Amino acid sequence: MKGRTIVLDHIQDREAAALMVDGVLDDFLIATDAPPPGTIYRARADRPVKGQGGMFLTTPDGPAFLRQVKGLAPGALILVQVSGYAEPGKALPVTNRILFKSRYAIVTPDAPGLNISRSIRDEDERDRLLEIAHEQMEDSPHGLILRSCCNGADANEIAEDIAAMRAQAEQVLNDTGDQPETLSEGDGPHILAWRDWTDPAEVVTASGGFETHAVLDALDKIRGIYEPLPGGGQLYIQPTRALIAVDVNTGADTSMAAGTKANFACAKALPRALRVRGLGGQITLDLAPMPKKDRRGFEAALRAAFRSDPEETILAGWTPLGHFELQRKRGRVPMSEVLK
């Protein structure tokens, strides 16, 4: 099946969204029991963590941890936003840099100014978008970012999106409560799919779409540790308590360049393999043997592959044993913990 298809459905009574690209599961979102990223709290400062520059906070959904705080005294109230998912037994990760994000617009209370995605280069289009932004953000102290999908989009839709995000920001920031409270819920999978999967696609909303569009079959495959690579190589992805181990095998290829080919195929396939499994944290790649002269090219291929991935990933580099290490944001709950 060629092309892009977005399938909105439910699985195990949980809201979920799947992105199929040329018949392959490219991304998958599912509701969990944890507060989703984007949730905004009025939280109470609890106690600082010496040596880490952080503070534990009290929220309606349990303890949270805020890094790099200055001048925040225990007992003070502060607005924070959930930035990712916590490991079991740990506090929610939050940030005090609040964003109000939608399909076309991001309102940035702490960063005033009107900005347009750098990927939009046509000057006439940038002027059109700036005019819309000025009209909707007039007299507002907040900043605005217009996302790349604004390019060529309907002016009324963009204006409505900006107005909605500005109204939400003003409602949350002007709330004057004096107790910890949830001020805004994070977006669920269906809204996230509309918000972030902006390239043209067929959208399927009928019940049973996961079955008719082979999403269930794809989910069965990603529950395992095996991921095939183009050219006959294989990835084996195994989460442990400490890290995620990724083993690269050359398969049946016995040529002199088999290791290099398998490693470069791994670089292209790894972002999708981690994304659909919801995996993040410390990741160690046990690569197939290849000459050291090919390492720089492998790093370039890996960096290019992660550039379009939604989760922040840091390429940490090579170990003395020849492994390659990554640090990936825990932006999702692992699929193995959600789907039993």
CATH number, position 279: 3.40.630
Q: Can you give the pLDDT at residue 335?
A: 92
Please check whether residue 28 is in contact with residue 334, taking contact to mean a CB–CB distance below 8 angstroms: no
* CA proximity to 120, closest of 160, 158, 164: 158
Q: Is 209 helix (H, G, I), strand (E, B) or coil?
A: helix
* Structural domain that includes position 258: 223-338
Looking up residue 55, the CATH number of its domain turns out to be 2.40.50.140
Q: Can you give the pLDDT at residue 339?
A: 87
Q: Can you give the pLDDT at residue 53?
A: 75
* CA proximity to 142, closest of 95, 183, 106: 106
Residues 81 and 168 in one domain: no
Q: Is residue 185 part of a domain?
A: no
Q: Can you give the pLDDT at residue 304?
A: 96
Residues 280 and 327 in one domain: yes
Residues 327 and 227 in one domain: yes
Q: Can you give the pLDDT at residue 325?
A: 98
Q: Is residue 165 part of a domain?
A: yes
Q: Which of 80, 97, 114 is the last residue of a domain?
A: 97
Please check whether residue 114 is in contact with residue 132, taking contact to mean a CB–CB distance below 8 angstroms: no
Residues 88 and 132 in one domain: no
Strands 143-146 and 114-116: what pairing?
Answer: parallel
For 112, list phi and psi in degrees, rounded to 5: -65, 160
For 63, list phi and psi in degrees, rounded to 5: -70, 145
Q: Can you give the pLDDT at residue 296?
A: 96
pLDDT along the chain (340 residues), means of 10: 92 96 96 95 91 88 89 91 88 95 96 94 96 95 96 97 97 94 96 96 96 95 92 93 94 88 96 96 96 96 94 96 95 89
Q: Is residue 18 part of a domain?
A: yes
Residues 206 and 154 in one domain: no
Q: How many domains does the chain have?
A: 4
Q: Is residue 210 part of a domain?
A: yes
Residues 209 and 119 in one domain: no
Which strand (E) or helix (H) includes residue 171?
A: helix 155-173
Residues 272 and 332 in one domain: yes
**What whole-number distance in Å separates Cα of residue 304 and Cα of residue 309?**
10
